[in-house]
Amino acid sequence: MVNNLVVKKRRPINKREAKRIKQGLLDTHGLDLPISAGNYEQAFSENFGVVIQHGHIIALVLDDQIHLSVRGLLSHVPQAGWVQVDMGAVKFVCNGANVMSAGINDASPEVV
């Protein structure tokens, strides 16, 4: 069963927010993305915030930490940190499914 994520207060980000998001992704994932004001949007769900690019959620914001979503990871591959999942789980993960610990075969030390 798929639940739809309800987001509110969706709006373009400003320069200050773009700088904060860019720095957060650099700190968390080592990615220096060209995030600029007006090209990305920010919205809020009940428990966390999201960063939207071209209508797709690319990052989640929780407690001032920014993490890439599966779609964000597929479009912006980080240089460090990886997780290996069962081959049977790949198509589900690419479609946004959660990964349980039993489905993870291996992970880099940065992730653990």
For the question of whether the overall pTM of this predicted structure is more than 0.75, the answer is no
User: Using CA atoms, how far apart are residues 42 and 52, in angstroms rounded to an integer?
Assistant: 6
Map out the domains of the chain with their CATH numbers.
8-77 (3.10.450.120)
- For 8-59, write each residue's pLDDT tens digit: 899 999 999 999 999 998 888 778 888 889 889 999 988 899 999 988 888 9
User: Using CA atoms, how far apart are residues 16 and 34, in angstroms rounded to an integer?
Assistant: 14
